[in-house]
Amino acid sequence: MPSSRFLASAMTGPLKKLENSNNKNGGLNILEVGPGTGAVTKTIVKLLKPEDRFDLVELNENFANLLKERFQTDSSYQRVNSQSQVHVCPLQDFQTDVEYDIIISGLPLNNFPADLAKEIYERFFQLLKPGGTLSYFEYMYIRAIKKKISGKATREHLIQLEEIIYPYLDESRIKQSWVFLNIPPAWVQHLQKNESTAPS
């Protein structure tokens, strides 16, 4: 199911806070990873200011083309077309000359092999500027439920994922948003890059 507007609102909470801050100096650098069909993108687009930069990294070429077309034809997207760019590549291959104030990810990390999830978390924190915020969602209790009902291989995979994810949450999480009005209900994890290096 596409993300609900309530989930999109929670995912963009740190961006809203920065955009509304009177202390903001210059534009923000914003990165959306795995935008898919744009369920969260449309909320980000509404929040962008003229001085901001918006990059989108999408591996699926069909989704990427859909987003590119939207920036050309949809009036709300056209407003920010000149400051936005869709990149068709894996996050690990994405090259940029900036650090990001905000990263918003729709990647289904619980579905990924543990080694790939580790690479992605490391890349998130390489791309964030100090004090920058990463926001991503996961469906509530999905790992706990799967660990109880799945076979040994799946349980071992989920345990490996938790060994990667939990140190990041312990080190860097600043907030967890509960979104019940989504199918399925979801948590949004908000992590901030600290002065200390995130675990790897």
pLDDT number for residue 120 = 96
Cis upstream peptide for 184 (omega within 30°): yes
Model confidence, pTM: 0.91
Q: What is the rounded CA–CA span in Å between residue 84 and residue 47?
A: 13
What phi, psi does 67 have (nearest 5°)?
A: -65, -40
Write out pLDDT tens, residues 149-160.
888 888 898 899
CB 190 within 8 A of CB 173: yes
Write out pLDDT tens, residues 74-123.
999 999 999 999 999 999 999 999 999 999 999 988 889 999 999 999 99
pLDDT number for residue 199 = 47
Topology at the third CATH level for domain 5-192: Rossmann fold (3.40.50)
Q: What is the rounded CA–CA span in Å between residue 110 and residue 144?
A: 11
